[in-house]
Structure 1
Amino acid sequence: YIYMYFYLQVLISRSRYRAFIFSLTFLLYASFHLSRKPISIVKGELHKHCSASHEVEVDSYKEYAAQIQPVKKPSNISQCGWEPFDKNNYKQLLGALDYSFLCAYAIGMYLSGIIGERLPIRYYLTVGMLASGLFTAMFGLGYFYNIHNLWFYIMAQVANGLVQTTGWPSVVTCIGNWFGKGRRGLIMGIWNSHTSVGNILGSLIAAYWVSTCWGLSFVMPGVIIAVMGIVCFLFLIERKCFNGTELWRSSKTFLNGTSRFRVQMPILNAKETNKPQVKYNVFLYQDTNFPFSLFSQGVIEFSLCLLFAKLVSYTFLFWLPLYITNVEHLDARRAGDLSTLFDVGGIFGGILAGLISDRLEKRASTCGMMLLLAAPTLYMFSAVSKMGLEATVVMLLISGALVNGPYALITTAVSADLGTHKSLKGNARALSTVTAIIDGTGSVGAALGPLLAGLISPSGWNNVFYMLMVADACALLVSLKILFGYCVFPLC
C-alpha cells in the first residue's frame, strides 16, 4: 500500500513537477545569457567619441572613483575611452574579444556533450555556472584594478567561453527528459525565450552601471549566475521515469546524475496470498552504444543551418548597441536599453516558430519560411534605422522575431526531436550529444559573425548588413536542401 500510494502521488504531481522543471531550467539558462550581454553594452564605454568635454568627464570620473575605497585612480584616463580600446583600431580589438569568447565556446561545445553525458547533470551544470560567475566578474575586475593589458581581457573571455558550454546541453537534456513530443515546438518555443529574457535583463543590469562604473556591469551578472548555480545544485531534478510516468527525487534521495539503479519492490508470495505474483520495477535508463546512424538523420544539415542563423543572431547580440550608438547618436546606457527590443521581438519569434511548426508538423519548412522573410527585413533595417528612432524601434521588433525564430526552433525542438529519434533506441545520452553537435556547429557561426562585423564595420555599417543577408541566404539554402533533398527524418 505504501508503494502504491507513492505511485499515485507521482501521477498526481506530474504537471506540478513539469512546471517546476520548466521554470527552473528557464531561469538557469537565462542567467547564462544575462552574463554574456554586458560586453556588448560596455563597448560604447570602452571606446568613446573624443570630445571637448574631456576635462568634465575626467573630473566626474575621479569624483565617483574616490567614493570606491579599494579602487585605484586610473593612471591614464584616455580621452577616447579605456586603454587599450581607445585607439583607432578599437573595432578590431572589440571584435577580438567577441571572437575569443565565441571561438572558445564553439570548441568547448563539442567536448561538453561528450563530458556532460558521462557526469551528473546537476553537478556538471552547477560547476559550470559557478565558474561562469567567476570569469564574468573577472572581466569587470579589470576596471577596479586599473588593468589595461589586452591579454587579460582576452583570457577572461576565453575561460568564460569554455565554462559556459556546460549550460546548453545540460538544460536541453533535462527539459527533453521531462517533456514528450506532444506540442514540443510550442512548449520549447516558450521555454527558449529564456535567451531573450536573459539578454534583456543583462542589458538593463549592465546599462545601469555602464556610464559610472562599468566594472559592476560584469561583477553583478557574475554574482547572479553564481547564485543560480547554487540554486541548481539544491533543486534541479534531472529526469523522470516511473513505468512511463515521472519519478522525482530531492537533493538527498533517488536520482544522482547518470547513476543507474533498480528499485525492486517486494514480491508477494503466491503461496501465502493465493494471488498471482506482483512485481514493480523502476528503471532509470539503460546504456546503449551510441549509434553511428545518428548523422544520417539530419543532424549535419540542421547544424549547418544553425551555423548561418546563429552568425546573424550573435552579430546583433554583440554589435547592436554600438551600432545604435553610432547611428542614433545615443549614449551607451540608452543604446543598451533600446537594443533590448531586438530580444523582445525574439521572444515572439521563437514562440511563433514553435507554434507554426507544431501545426504544420514540419520544422524545416517553418525555418525556411522565416529565413526567407528575414533577408529583406535586414535590408530594410539598415535603411530605415537611419530615418529616426521610431522607425528603429519597429524594425528592431520585426528583425528580432525573424532572426531569432529559426535559431530558437533548431536549438530546442529540432535538437530534442533528433536526440530522441526512434533510431537511437532509447539512448538517454544521445540527446546531450546531439544538442552539443548542433549548437557547437552553430557556435562556429556565432564566432565568425562578430569577428567579421569587427573587420567590416570600419568600411561602413551597410557592408555589415550585406554580410548578414548573405549568411541568411546560406541558411535558407541549407534549409531548402533539408526540405527538398534526401532528408529521411519527419521534420521536413
Structure 2
Amino acid sequence: LPLLLLSVLSPCRYRAFTFGLTFLLYTSFHLSRKPISIVKVTHTDTDVSYREFTVLHWQLPNLHTETDCSWKPFDKSNYKQLLGAMDYSFLCAYAVGMYLSGIIGERLPIRLYLTFGMLMSGLFTCLFGLGRIYNIHNLSFYIFVQVANGLVQTTGWPSVVTCIGNWFGKGRRGLIMGIWNSHTSVGNILGSLIAGYWVSSNWGLSFIVPGLVIAAMGVVCFLFLIEREYCSVTGCRKIGRDFLPICVINPWSPCQNWDTELLLPVQQVVVVKSELEPSAISFMGALRIPGVIEFSLCLLFAKLVSYTFLFWLPLYITKAAHLDAKKAGELSTLFDVGGIVGGILAGVISDKLGKRATTCAVMLLLAAPTVSQSLSLGLALCMLLVCGGLVNGPYALITTAVSADLGTHKSLKGNSRALSTVTAIIDGTGSVGAAIGPLLAGVLSSRGWNQVFYMLMAADFLALMLLLRLVTKELTSANVVKPRSGSTTVE
C-alpha cells in the first residue's frame, strides 16, 4: 500500500505527506506520556496534612469520604517520592532502551519497527488506566507498566527522525525540523486536555483514551509510512500503439547506485536491490563523530529541565495557585505553547547563522533567569511562555536538526545508515537527564519548591558550559581566512 501510494503521488507531495504523517505519529507518543503528570494532583481534605495535595484523584467511594481522597499504595506521607520513583522507572527504562533502539532500528524496516512500538505502547498505557477500573493497589504493577512502556516507546524517536532526515536534505533543515518538532508540544497539550477531561470523574480513561489513540496511529503507520525518498525514474515506453508512463523504484537506497533493468506500465513497481548498500555504523563509530559527545551531554541537562517541567509543573501550579487538577493541567500547556515557538525560532536562527551550537548556547543563557519561582501568578504564567521557548528551543534543535546533521556528517563518507544510531545516542543520553530531573524534583520539593528551581538553574548552566568548545570553534571558524587562487575568502 505505501509503494502504491508513492507511485500515485509525486515525490514532492509524498514528502509533504511524510512530514505530516511522522508529525502525527510522534504527537501520539507524547500524548500518551502526559496523563501521569495531570492525574498526579487534586485537592483533598486540608485537615489531613500529608494529603493536602495527594495523588491521582484515585477514590475508593466505599471506604473514603468525598474530601478524603487517596489510592493505595500512594496514600503515604512520602507520596511525592513515590510519584518521583514512578517517573524515574519510566524515564530510566527509556534512557537505557534508547541506546539499544537506535542500533536495532538501523537493522530493521522502520515501518515495522515503529508500528510494533506504537501498538505495544498503546497496550501498556491502557494497562495503567485499567488499574483504576480493576482497583489494583500493587505498586509493582504500576512500576512494571511504566518500565515496559518506557522500553517500547524508545522505538519512536530514532525512527521518525531517521525517516524525516531521509526525506529532507540539509537545506533549511533547522526551519523544517523546528516546525516538525512542535509535535512534542502539541502532544503534551493534547495529552493534558484529554487527561484533564476525565481526571475528576474517572482517571482510568485519562490513560485508556491516549493508549487507544497511539495504537490506532500505529496501524496508520503500518499502512502508509515509507522511510525514505526512493530513487525513481519516470518516462514513456511504447506498448503496442500507446505510450504509457513507467516508474522504477529502489526502496533500499536514496537516489544513487540503482539499476533500471525493467520498465513496466504505470502503477507497477520494479524493486531493485542495491549491491552497494552501506553497512550500519557501530556504537563506538557513532561516538567518534565530532560533536556527538558534546551535544549528547548538553541535552542531558537541557532535557532534565524540560522533563522536570513536564512531570511536575501541574503539581507546582496546583500547590502555588490552589487550583484544581484540571485547571492546573490547562495552565501547564503554556510551557508547551512557548516550546513550539522556541523550537521554530531556534531552527530559523541556526539556519540563518549556520551555527547550531551558538544558537543553543545563547538560548540556554537567556533561559537561566526565567527558570525561577515568581511571586505573582500572572507573572509566573508569562514566564512559563518565555521559559518554554528558551528551554525547549535548544532541546528541539539538538534532537532534530543537530542529530540529522551529525548522522549525515562528512566523516561518514556518504553512509546514511548512521542517523538512527546517532539520534538514539543523543536522545538516550538526554533521557538520562530526563530520568534524574523528576526524581530529584520529587525529593527536593519536600524541602520547598525553591530547591527545585535552584536545581533547574544549575542544570541550565551546565548545559551551556558543555557547548563552549563547539561555540568557540564555530565563532573562530567564521574568521578563518584561507588562500584560494591568489585571493582570500572568509569562511
Q: Compare the two structures and name the one with the higher helix fraction.
A: 1
Greater shift in the superposed pair: 203-212 or 82-91: 82-91
**Counterpart among 332, 341, 355 of residue 334 in structure 2:** 341
Partner of 2:266: none
Following superposition, the deviation at residue 49 of structure 1 comes to: 3.4
Partner of 2:344: 351
Following superposition, the deviation at residue 422 of structure 1 comes to: 1.8
Partner of 1:56: none
Following superposition, the deviation at residue 149 of structure 1 comes to: 1.1
CA distance in 1, matches of 2:411, 2:476: 12
Greater shift in the superposed pair: 10-19 or 164-173: 10-19
Q: Does 1:325 align with 2:326?
A: no
Q: Does 1:287 align with 2:278?
A: yes
**Counterpart among 101, 104, 116 of residue 93 in structure 2:** 104
Cα pair distance change 1:186/1:469, threshold 3 Å: same
CA distance in 2, matches of 1:113, 1:237: 18
Cα pair distance change 1:374/1:76, threshold 3 Å: same
Partner of 1:264: 260
- 5+ residue gaps, structure 1, are 1-5, 54-61, 66-71, 246-252, 268-279
Following superposition, the deviation at residue 50 of structure 1 comes to: 2.2
Partner of 1:406: 394
Identity %: 68
Partner of 2:78: 89
Paired residues for 1:7-406 under 5 Å: 13-45=10-42, 48-51=43-46, 79-242=68-231, 255=251, 263-266=259-262, 283=274, 286-288=277-279, 290=281, 294=286, 295-379=288-372, 382=373, 384=374, 386-388=375-377, 390-406=378-394
Contact 1:137–1:223 (8 Å) recurs in 2? yes
CA distance in 2, matches of 1:21, 1:93: 40
Q: Compare the two structures and name the one with the higher strand fraction.
A: 2
CA distance in 2, matches of 1:306, 1:163: 21
Q: Does 1:430 align with 2:418?
A: yes
Residue 89 of structure 1 aligns to which amino acid in structure 2? N
Greater shift in the superposed pair: 82-91 or 226-235: 82-91
Residue 398 of structure 1 aligns to which amino acid in structure 2? V
Cα pair distance change 1:207/1:12, threshold 3 Å: closer
**1:264-323 CA distance string (max 9 Å, x none):** 3359xxxxxxxxxxxx98859712362755424110010000000000000000000000
SS of the residue corresponding to residue 242 of structure 1 reads: strand
CA distance in 1, matches of 2:90, 2:64: 27
Residue 341 of structure 1 aligns to which amino acid in structure 2? L
CA distance in 1, matches of 2:35, 2:465: 33
TM-score (norm 1): 0.84
**1:390-436 CA distance string (max 9 Å, x none):** 22221111110011000000000000000011211222320000000
CA distance in 2, matches of 1:134, 1:334: 28
Cα pair distance change 1:319/1:285, threshold 3 Å: farther
CA distance in 2, matches of 1:12, 1:100: 44
Residue 433 of structure 2 aligns to which amino acid in structure 1? G
Contact 2:230–2:253 (8 Å) recurs in 1? no
Following superposition, the deviation at residue 201 of structure 1 comes to: 0.2
CA distance in 1, matches of 2:295, 2:111: 28
Contact 2:37–2:311 (8 Å) recurs in 1? yes
**1:109-131 CA distance string (max 9 Å, x none):** 00001111111100000000000
Contact 1:135–1:222 (8 Å) recurs in 2? yes
Contact 2:289–2:409 (8 Å) recurs in 1? no
Aligned-CA RMSD value: 3.2
CA distance in 1, matches of 2:317, 2:130: 27
Following superposition, the deviation at residue 75 of structure 1 comes to: 5.4
Contact 1:415–1:438 (8 Å) recurs in 2? yes
Contact 1:119–1:257 (8 Å) recurs in 2? no
Partner of 1:447: 435
Residue 49 of structure 1 aligns to which amino acid in structure 2? T
**1:189-229 CA distance string (max 9 Å, x none):** 00000000000000000000001100000000000000000
Residue 288 of structure 1 aligns to which amino acid in structure 2? S
Following superposition, the deviation at residue 83 of structure 1 comes to: 1.7
CA distance in 2, matches of 1:194, 1:159: 23
CA distance in 2, matches of 1:206, 1:387: 27
Contact 1:241–1:284 (8 Å) recurs in 2? no
Question: Number of matched residues?
Answer: 444
**1:334-373 CA distance string (max 9 Å, x none):** 0001101100000000000000000000000000000000
Following superposition, the deviation at residue 456 of structure 1 comes to: 0.5
**1:48-105 CA distance string (max 9 Å, x none):** 432469xxxxxxxx9x99xxxxxx9665679242222222100000000100000000
Q: Does 1:479 align with 2:470?
A: no
Q: Which runs of 4+ in 1 moved over 3 A?
A: 9-12, 72-78, 253-258, 260-264, 280-285, 291-294, 485-490
Following superposition, the deviation at residue 482 of structure 1 comes to: 1.9
Cα pair distance change 1:141/1:281, threshold 3 Å: closer
CA distance in 2, matches of 1:375, 1:170: 32
